[in-house]
């Protein structure tokens, strides 16, 4: 899978709590993924992401984010090397700084 189809067109319920998209060739995610307001776990391991997909910053309920095995280039090396928890913490900090200006 190189591209994820529109979540809205697929009819995926908004109450989805986990989404496993590991082991594909994804490089980005559709913006309508932000409609999954209850999404707590997002597994994007072993894809082709060069940066954290922009829509991830809008997933307010997200508690677990897996990005291992992606050729991430646009996040600080120390955060990338520290693993999933550090990356999710980074996402939260960026989201907060965007919100507060």
Report the chain (101 residues): mean pLDDT per 10 consecutive residues. 74 86 95 93 97 94 94 84 88 89 73
- Encode burial over 25-47: b for 16+ CB neighbours within 10 A, e otherwise: ebebbbebbbbbeebeebbbbbb
pLDDT score at 9: 66
C-alpha angle 60-65-70 in degrees, rounded to nearest 5:
130
CATH superfamily of 7-100: Ribonuclease Inhibitor (3.80.10.10)
**What is residue 32's three-state secondary structure?**
helix
pLDDT digits (tens, 9 = 90+) for 45-72: 999 999 999 999 999 999 999 999 999 8
Q: Is the dihedral of CA 18, 88, 31, 101 positive or negative?
A: positive
Question: Chain-centre distance of CA 81, in angstroms?
Answer: 17
pTM (predicted TM-score): 0.83
- Each domain of the chain, given as residue ranges in start order, spans 7-100
């Amino acid at each position: 899978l190189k591209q994820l189809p529109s979540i809205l067109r697929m009819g995926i319920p908004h109450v989805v709590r986990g989404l496993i998209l590991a082991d594909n060739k994804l490089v980005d995610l559709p913006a309508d993924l932000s409609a999954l307001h209850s999404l707590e776990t997002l597994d994007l391991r072993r894809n082709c992401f060069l940066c954290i997909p922009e829509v991830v910053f809008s997933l307010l309920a997200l508690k677990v984010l897996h990005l291992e095995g992606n050729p991430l280039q646009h996040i600080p090396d120390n955060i990338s090397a520290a693993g999933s928890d550090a990356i999710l913490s980074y996402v939260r900090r960026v989201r907060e700084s965007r919100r507060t200006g």
